[in-house]
Chain A
Amino acid sequence: MRIRLSAPVELQNLLPYDFKYRIYDKKTKKDWTNFLRKGGISPVHVVNLSHLLLLSVDLQDTPFKQSDFAIINSPDGDYSRDNAMTVKDTKDLTLRLKLHYL
Chain B
Amino acid sequence: MPDSGGAFKVTVYSPYILLNRTGLELDVRSKAFLGATRAAAGQGFFSNSNSEARRATPLMFSFPADDQKNRALIKIGDSDWSKPQSFNAIGSTYEATVPSSNGRSEMHLGISVSQGEGKVGNYKS
Interface of chain B, helix or strand or loop or mixed?
Answer: loop
Binds A, one of B38-46, B72-80, B98-106: B38-46
Task: Tell me if A97 and B13 are in contact (CB < 8 A).
Answer: yes
Task: Tell me if B41 and A57 are in contact (CB < 8 A).
Answer: no
Task: Tell me if A13 and B12 are in contact (CB < 8 A).
Answer: yes
Supposing A93-B41, A94-B64, A96-B63 touch, asked if A55 and B10 sit within 8 A by C-beta, the answer is yes
In angstroms, Cα B14 to Cα A39, docked, is 12
Which residues of A lie under 8 Å from residue B61 when comparing CB positions?
95
Q: With both chains docked as a complex, state the minimum distance between the C-beta of B39 and any C-beta of chain A, in angstroms.
A: 6
Supposing A7-B7, A12-B118, A64-B42 touch, asked if A97 and B58 sit within 8 A by C-beta, the answer is no
In-complex Cβ contact of B10 among A11, A19, A62 (8 A): A11
Q: A14-B14, A14-B123, A98-B12 are in contact. List 19 more A-B contacts (CB 8 A).
A: A9-B7, A10-B7, A12-B10, A14-B117, A16-B14, A16-B58, A17-B60, A63-B45, A72-B10, A85-B12, A90-B45, A94-B41, A94-B64, A95-B61, A96-B15, A97-B14, A99-B10, A100-B11, A102-B1
Which A31-60 residues have a C-beta within 8 angstroms of B?
Answer: 39, 41, 49, 55, 57
Task: Tell me if A101 and B117 are in contact (CB < 8 A).
Answer: no
Task: Tell me if B62 and A12 are in contact (CB < 8 A).
Answer: no
Q: With both chains docked as a complex, state the minimum distance between the C-beta of B25 and any C-beta of chain A, in angstroms.
A: 15
Q: Say yes or no: is A28 at the interface (Cβ < 8 Å to chain B).
A: no
Range class of the B interface residue count: 20 to 34
Total A-B residue contacts, Cβ distance less than 8 Å = 116
B39 nearest CB neighbor, chain A only: A93
- Please, could you name 27 A-B residue pairs with CB atoms under 8 Å apart, sorted by A? A8-B7, A9-B8, A9-B9, A9-B10, A10-B8, A10-B9, A11-B12, A12-B11, A14-B116, A14-B117, A14-B120, A14-B123, A15-B13, A15-B60, A62-B42, A89-B41, A93-B41, A93-B43, A94-B41, A96-B15, A97-B12, A97-B60, A99-B10, A100-B121, A101-B8, A101-B10, A102-B8
